[in-house]
Structure 1
Amino acid sequence: MKSKTAEEHKKLSPKTIKCSVITLSDSKSKTEDGKKTDKSGHIIIAEIEKKYELSHYEIISDNENELLSTINMIKNNSDVIFTTGGTGISSRDITVETLQSIFEKELTGFGEIFRYETYKDLGSTAFLSRATGGIFEKTLIFAMPGSPNAVKLGLSLIIDELGHLTKHLKE
């Protein structure tokens, strides 16, 4: 069921939404031309470019200081930042803890719905996902796992709501 109020808010949403993508990975392979391959990052970019504006894209290592530095560098020119990778449970997965340390508000519903939808497909391994979202200095940040299927799922949950979310964020 669609909310009449939400639909009205979407009509009042900003016409331009600037999005950035950060891929966290210590292991992205390099191609012959020296560039790193990043399927999940490119899935996000392709989806962004259908409706919104891509303002920044970067692949960084799984490093707390590098993630914070990158976010601080791009936040003023981004309404939304998507991260992919670093959300697992290994010792190198630092994305969630790093972001939670700067979030002014956490959008727990994103992670909850993400895990529920994952559970419907994969069963109880869904609890390994630590996808999350939040707000930092008037910028929405969504952290998704690094797998292409996880990114597709995460995008399906939020991409059409970005205008609505951005409208409320700017109030």
Structure 2
Amino acid sequence: MKESTPEIHKKDAKKSFSFALITISTSRYEKYGNPASPDDAEDLSGKVMKELIEAAGNRVSFYRLVPDEKDSLLDAIFFALESSADIVITSGGTGLAPKDLTIESIAPLFEKDIPGFGELFRYKSLEEIGTSVILTRASAGVIKGKAVFCLPGSPNAVKLALSKIIIPEAGHIVRHVRE
């Protein structure tokens, strides 16, 4: 049986990865400070990410909860990039509100954009939330040899992004980013 093109591209990819998770929420940060895990901060999106990542045979090597502030977010990103994580995922701050600073803070650091991620995420979200999908600025790029994904803060959004896009493509992404 002949392998399909996607199978050929993914054939030599590593199968297990380490993820860094950063949740951006001022209200949650003010209530919980700097917890060790999403469970310690009632971080539903963080918990969904952690569960999906671990259920797929990967591990979470870094977790941070930060307020919607550029300096705090950048500090967390730089720590995550220096960690053992293969992939960095942020959750929150991708909307249009004045306090939503994730994209303005992180996108200028991208050495390469991954525009297909945001496009595909919005396309797949259309079925769930309809035309409200235009309000998300979910995006991804490469910084210091690591893929960084900026997701909305809702549990449904992170579930969709991880289960339908990021986890299935993790090996392919990491391999290409490191070539």
TM norm. shorter chain > 0.5: yes
Per-residue Cα deviation, 1:45-101 (whole angstroms, up to 9, x for no partner): 111112212110111111111111111112132210011001111111000111111
Q: TM-score with structure 2 length normalisation?
A: 0.86
Paired residue for 2:112, among 105, 108, 111?
105
Q: Which position in structure 2 is the counterpart of 1:52?
A: 58
- What is the rounded CA distance, in whole Å, between the counterparts of 2:158 and 2:18 in structure 1? 19
Q: TM-score with structure 1 length normalisation?
A: 0.90
- Whether 1:85 aligns to 2:92 is yes
Secondary structure of the structure 2 residue equivalent to 1:27: helix
Fraction of identical pairs, as percent: 38
Runs of 5+ consecutive residues of structure 1 not aligned to the other structure: none
Q: Is the 8 A contact 1:30 1:37 kept in 2?
A: no
Q: What amino acid is the match of 2:41?
A: K
- What is the rounded CA distance, in whole Å, between the counterparts of 2:153 and 2:128 in structure 1? 17
- Whether 1:14 aligns to 2:20 is no
- What is the rounded CA distance, in whole Å, between the counterparts of 1:30 and 1:68 in structure 2? 21
Paired residue for 1:119, among 116, 126, 129?
126
Paired residue for 1:159, among 157, 167, 176?
167
- What is the rounded CA distance, in whole Å, between the counterparts of 1:17 and 1:91 in structure 2? 34
- Whether 1:147 aligns to 2:171 is no
| Higher mean C-alpha deviation, range 7-16 or range 73-82 | 7-16
| Higher mean C-alpha deviation, range 75-84 or range 116-125 | 116-125
Q: CA deviation at 1:30?
A: 4.2
Per-residue Cα deviation, 1:87-123 (whole angstroms, up to 9, x for no partner): 1111110001111110011111111111112222222
Runs of 5+ consecutive residues of structure 2 not aligned to the other structure: none
Secondary structure of the structure 2 residue equivalent to 1:88: coil
- What is the rounded CA distance, in whole Å, between the counterparts of 2:130 and 2:41 in structure 1? 32
Q: Is the 8 A contact 1:9 1:167 kept in 2?
A: no
- Whether 1:5 aligns to 2:12 is no
- Whether 1:137 aligns to 2:144 is yes
Q: Is the 8 A contact 1:6 1:164 kept in 2?
A: no
- Whether 1:61 aligns to 2:59 is no
Q: What amino acid is the match of 2:21?
A: V
Q: Is the 8 A contact 2:52 2:159 kept in 1?
A: no
- What is the rounded CA distance, in whole Å, between the counterparts of 1:168 and 1:6 in structure 2? 14
